[in-house]
Amino acid sequence: MRCYANQLPSELNKGLKPFYLVFGEEPFQEAQCVQQIRDSAKQQGFDEVIKFTLMQGFDWQEIIAQYQSMSLFSARTIIELDLNQQKPGVIGSNTFKKVVELVNPDTILIVKGAKASQEVQRGAWFKALDKQGVFVPCYPLTGSHVKRWLDEQCQRLSLNMQSDAKVSLINATEGNLLACFQELEKLSLLHGNALITQQLVMQGLLNQAKFDIFDLSDALLNGHAKQAIKVLNKLASDNTEVVSILWAITKELNTLISVQLGLLNGEPIANLFKQKAIWKNQQGPVQNAINRLNMHTLEQINSDVALFDASYKQGNLIAPYQALAHICIKFCQPLNIPMPCHAVN
């Protein structure tokens, strides 16, 4: 069953489903939807979360084993599988179909992935999970959709924000929902339900160090390694959350991969800019990156990002900011040094 991101809270109130497919090109919405599922499930006793990321050599039997073994314990469990921008393949598809046959009331399976194309949605494994679960597509938001999203967040946070203040915040964050949401949370903490004016919003933006993340994105797209490391050092000194920096990097990476794939399929660059909601002031930097980074290089960076994500969650990174610097440099120039991680004991 299809359920859009803004409809998910209402759907969860009706009861939990055994399977959730959260797919899309908007990482913040995806993360928010997964968290909403987790929160709702926790209220019903699903206290344990087991996470997997699809990488080379992934053992699909682990999914079956964990799914079946949960019934042996009292804890109700959530299994999260990040497809990491990949398709499950034959083995993965068969695994999903088997899981559907083994439906366990004490286990919820959440599958996360890139935008689910019509080809993916027609797959037997997708249909099997969707039939007994919920498919949540997370599309990039533009124009009136961004404003509607902002209105919903303001309502949820009980924020009384003037219209021109909303416009200023949307323009300043340029479609970055994470940065926009963080600013809304800050305004809520500082001002409660008092009237939020454009002046208050702009004062906050000017003093907000986290918006240096946009500078990092520009440096990466334009291939300015020195500037990227300078910005990263500033973010690290400000104790900017590692996951926020990774989100910014992943957002740009996903955009570049998507555009490169479109170009390889013969689509005009102007059409791709429109389809991917790439703002006019970002089209030049994106074009620079596309000219510099071929598909092979982007896939290498994507593998490093996946390794970082998995290693960070498992606590296997020697120094997260150093590993992020490694990824940033790869955007700008060839780097054949492995990412700094340590082996799991």
Domains of the chain, with CATH numbers? Answer: 5-138 (3.40.50.300), 143-207 (1.10.8.60), 213-332 (1.20.272.10)
User: 50 near 79, Cβ under 8 Å?
Assistant: yes
SS3 6: helix
CA distance 321 to 312: 11
Give the amino acid at 196. Answer: I
Distance CA 220, CA 343 (A): 29
- How far, in Å, CA of 102 to CA of 79, rounded? 14
**pLDDT score of 345:** 43
**Cβ atoms 200, 311 nearer than 8 A:** no
Q: What Rg value do the Cα atoms of the chain yield, rounded?
A: 21
Residue 343 has a pLDDT of 47
* CA 109 to centroid of chain Cα atoms: 18
Q: Return d(Cα 338, Cα 304) in angstroms, integer.
A: 9
Alpha-helical (H) ranges within 197-279 are: 198-206, 212-222, 225-237, 242-264, 269-275
What distance in Å separates the CA atoms of residue 328 and residue 223, rounded to the nearest whole number?
9
| Three-state DSSP state, 113 | strand
Terminal alpha carbon distance of the chain? 42
Angle 137-143-149 from CA coordinates, rounded to 5°:
55
Other beta carbons within 10 angstroms of residue 138's beta carbon come to: 25
Q: Which residues of the chain have pLDDT under 70?
A: 70-74, 174, 205-212, 341-345
Rounded distance between C-alpha atoms, residue 33 and residue 6, angstroms: 9
Q: With a threshold of 0.75, does the pTM exceed it?
A: no
Q: Do 283 and 273 form a contact (C-beta atoms < 8 A)?
A: yes
